Structure 1
Amino acid sequence: MPAASTEASAPVAGALEPEAPSPLPEPLSPGQPAYRRMSLALFAAGVAAFALLYSTQALLPAVSADFGVTASAASWTVSAATGALALFVLPLSALSERFGRRTLMTVSLTVAVVLGLLVPLAPSLESLVALRALQGAALAGVPAAAMAYLAEEVRPRALIAAIGLFVAGNSIGGMSGRIVTGWAAQFGGWRVGLAAVGVLALIAAVAFRVLLPRPRRFTPAPVSPKALATTVRGHLANPLLRRLYAIGALFMTVFGAVYTMIGYRLTEEPFGLPPGVVGSVFLVYLVGTVSSGSAGKLVERLGRRGALYLAVVTTAAGLLLSLSTSLSAVLLGLVLITAGFFAGHAVASSAVSRTATTGRAQASALYQSSYYIGSSVGGTLGAIAFHSGGWAGTVALGLLAVTGVVSLTAYGSWAARVAARRGLVVATGGR
């Protein structure tokens, strides 16, 4: 009888044992259909987000003329959007942990596109700046979730290439938005230009939603302000992550200053270019598409620090060349600035994703926040520098920023050597 009782109870005990969690699917690799769909979807998301984010940048001279304001005042239509994005990217990254990367990106793009169709109706500069700030806050969900999505779904060896393609979509979006607004504004005014980029973003957002595969390796987590603060403190305590955040901000300071003020530079003498032609100048963004996509190969050949040094030298050379009064020299300078910036950005952002082993969404969000603070600061300070010293003032600001990148990268090399020596001393018992 006791034996029978034991046998009868055995299955019950087994049933009460917790089931082993099912293993996560293998991450995606290049060549797989789902990887291609994911790449195209995030490329489309980058196009939509960055076409909207910088939609007023090529139109600043026209906005200044229509509202009768200075370049510094008009530049707030760009800085408000990038500044709001910087503020909201971290809290939205926390929401992506709870509701999912795909859901957050979809909602963010939907709200941003709706606002993009309302922006052309703004009756005053103040209302335009307010709408642009709301748009920037909505767009924060895209970079907040995209990097974490890639880090979860893609094999580590393919991560730099995948992030490079997303950054390439950013560059295509920034370029196409400026070209579309420039030519549309030349024939119908800046409001028509903004409406045209809103339609472009709508098409790209629909393509994103249709193409993006459902996440296979995402595990929802509760939103906890305390846990978020702990994760953020942990990332900010990491010296390498702090340097990468600062490098992203400094690179974007250069880029924000140059591209916020280049429209004024090219519409004034000795160039006097019309809005459509100024918008077409942003075709140099194609160079950024190539340089960001090749960032992985640069890192393989030169190492992360070597790739950053090459990006700095390229950017600085472009800044100096842009001082010329020759249009061809200025355009070549923009090519070099763009190539250097996008290469540096792709290297730094992918290094963040690889360095953070936990809380990747927050690590990427902190990078994005620093990055867009750099854009906002660069646009504002670039306008001030342009007013006080002309284009040479803007270039001086850019050179100061790239000097900061060199200093941080060199310090990182020195710190690594010191840590290696200390490790050797410990390993050999101080001998």
Structure 2
Amino acid sequence: MKNLTRYSRLVLAVCLCSVVTFANIYWIQPLLPLIQESFHLNSLDTNLAMSLPLLGIGVGLILFASWSDAAGRSKILLAGTGLGIGVSILLPFAENYSIFLILRFFQGVFLAVCPAVAVPLLREELRKSWLASAVGLYISANTLGGLCSRILGGAGATYFGNWNAAGYILGGISLLFFVVIYMLLPEQHHFRREKFCLRSCVHGYMSHMKRPQLLLIYLLIGLAFGTYVNQFNYLMLTLSKAPYYIPSDLRSLLFLTLLGGTASASLAGRFSKKHRLISGVITGLFMMLLANICLSFSQMPMIITGLILTSVGFFFCHAQASTLVGRSVNAAKGSAMALYSLFYYAGASLGVFALEPFYQVWGWQGIIGCTRIALVLCMLWVILYQMVDREKADPVKTV
């Protein structure tokens, strides 16, 4: 490690933090049927195991983004990640489901430190020529952590016969990673402390919320991600029952379809050079709607095709929407993006409450139907966005 340059140590440490963060959030997703069986739960309570940590991330993003401006990013990154891993180690020992959910929520709050401070840390400490590639590696690490942990969790639970074993394995690996992160992460040299002012933060958030176009994008991405991530949750429950009876290790392999989203993120960048960003948003939504039709069939080849198209469409839409928010504001960009992330994760957390009634009445086809309604609503919001944009560009003059 001593032979690595300071820049390489920083990028590697941040990427490992990203792997640990998203691994500890998503490892349990393919194991939801086992959680349901272990704690004797209904489908709504089972899905809270994924919803609450995502809500925690949304809350933690707001807290850590503001706090790190005043206290420094490296120290907060280590503290938050360490506390998050500590919760992960405790999680498999929880015998009461209420305690389990409380731990999952605080796990999300603490682990939100990485998505809150990683990019600002890289931006402050790296040369501009390094930044684009470093951020690209960081985003790839997000996908890698979530994907590998799902596969590891599914395989571990199948091999040992319970979800707790997968938690022990992931907690041990995360602890080893944290030791490496602690040894790698260099001290900040270019951090400029800013005085925290609650009034200015609230003013920045409120000013963004008063802009109709930004609010529409926030609502759109919250609804899109809410249906996307919870659709996977209900699919895991569906595939564990008749007529599929697919075990955890094989169910977890379905998350390899997320790699379609990784590929679409790069395509989104090329698309935005030739077309408007809002056109990219609607293109992604159309791909998700096409995927929704594929998922309505019960054959596994169609389900796999639908999952790939869903990932491609969602991440294409997400890349365009997040860029659109960044380009739409000239002041308080940090708070604008923080609100975007808050709606993003809050949508994922609350989406289960919209999908659950449909699942109870119509099962998997109900999930497909509800998702289709949500996507059509998102498209209507895009039309509203364009109407507002047209009015701003060509205001009506009144006498």
- TM-score under structure 2 normalisation? 0.88
Q: Are the equivalent residues in 2 in contact too, given 1:250–1:405 (CA < 8 A)?
A: yes
Checking the alignment, whether the CA contact within 8 Å between 1:95 and 1:223 is kept in structure 2 is yes
Shift of 1:208: 4.9
The answer for the alignment partner of 1:366 in structure 2 is 339
1:291 corresponding residue in structure 2: 264
Aligned to 2:112: 140
Aligned to 2:55: 83
Corresponding residue for residue 4 of structure 1? none
1:329 and 2:307 equivalent? no
Q: CA deviation at 1:143?
A: 2.1
Q: 2 CA distance for matches of 1:162 and 1:351?
A: 21
Q: Shift in Å at residue 152 of structure 1?
A: 5.5
**Superimposed CA distance per residue, residues 268-294 of structure 1 (whole angstroms, 9 cap, x where no aligned partner):** 222221111011111112222222244
Partner residue of 1:173 out of 140, 145, 154: 145
2:394 paired with 1:421:
yes
For 1:269, which of 242, 260, 275 is the aligned residue? Answer: 242
**Which residue in the other structure is 1:63 paired with?**
35
Gaps of 5+ in 2: none
Q: 2:379 aligns with which of 406, 409, 431?
A: 406
- Alignment partner of 1:127 out of 96, 99, 102: 99
Deviation at 1:174, TM superposition (A): 1.7
Deviation at 1:108, TM superposition (A): 1.6
Q: Does 1:108 align with 2:87?
A: no
Contact 1:83/1:133 (<8 A) preserved: yes
What are the equivalent positions in structure 2 for 1:139-288 lying under 5 Å apart? Answer: 139-149=111-121, 165-188=137-160, 189-206=162-179, 208=181, 218-288=191-261
Rounded to whole Å, the distance in 2 between the matches of 1:413 and 1:277 is 43
What is the aligned-residue identity percentage? 24
SS of equivalent to 1:264: helix
Instruction: Report the number of matched residues.
Output: 393
Find the structure with the greater CA-based Rg.
1
Cα separation, 2, equivalents of 1:170 and 1:323: 29
Rate the CA distance shift 1:167–1:318 in 2: closer, same or farther, 3 A: farther
| Cα distance change, pair 202–284 in 1 and its aligned pair in 2 (3 A) | farther
Instruction: Tell me the CA shift for residue 161 of structure 1.
Output: 7.2
Report the TM-score, using the length of structure 1 for normalisation: 0.82
Distance 1:196 1:128 in 2: 17
Task: Classify 1:389/1:407 alpha carbon distance in 2 versus 1 (closer, same or farther; 3 Å).
Answer: same
Q: Kindly tell me: are residues 383 and 213 of structure 1, through their superposed partners in 2, closer, same or farther at Cα, counting changes over 3 Å? A: farther
CA distance in structure 2 between the aligned counterparts of 1:233 and 1:59, rounded to whole angstroms: 39
- 3-state secondary structure, aligned to 1:75: helix
Report the Cα distance in structure 2 between the residues aligned to 1:304 and 1:216, rounded to whole angstroms. Answer: 36
Q: Which moved more, 1:316-325 or 1:103-112?
A: 103-112
How much does 1:175 deviate?
1.3
Change (3 A) 1:209 1:301: farther
**Displacement after TM superposition at 1:183 (Å):** 0.6
Task: Provide, for residues 8-57 of structure 1, a one-character-per-residue CA deviation record: whole Å limited to 9, x for no partner.
Answer: xxxxxxxxxxxxxxxxxxxxxxxxx8777665544333321111112322
Q: CA deviation at 1:305?
A: 1.3
Gap regions ≥5 residues in structure 1: 1-32
Name the counterpart of 2:25. 53
How well do the aligned residues superpose, as a CA RMSD in angstroms? 2.8
The alpha-carbon deviation at position 303 of structure 1 amounts to: 2.6
Is the contact made by 1:164 and 1:346 (CA closer than 8 Å) also made in structure 2?
no
* Cα deviations by residue, 1:249-277 (Å, 9 ceiling, x for unpaired): 12211212211111112112222211110
Q: CA 1:77/1:303 → structure 2, altered by over 3 Å: closer, same or farther?
A: same
**Separation of aligned partners in 2, 1:57 and 1:307:** 29
Tell me the equivalent position of 2:66: 94
In structure 2, how many angstroms separate the alpha carbons of the residues matched to 1:187 and 1:380?
Answer: 32
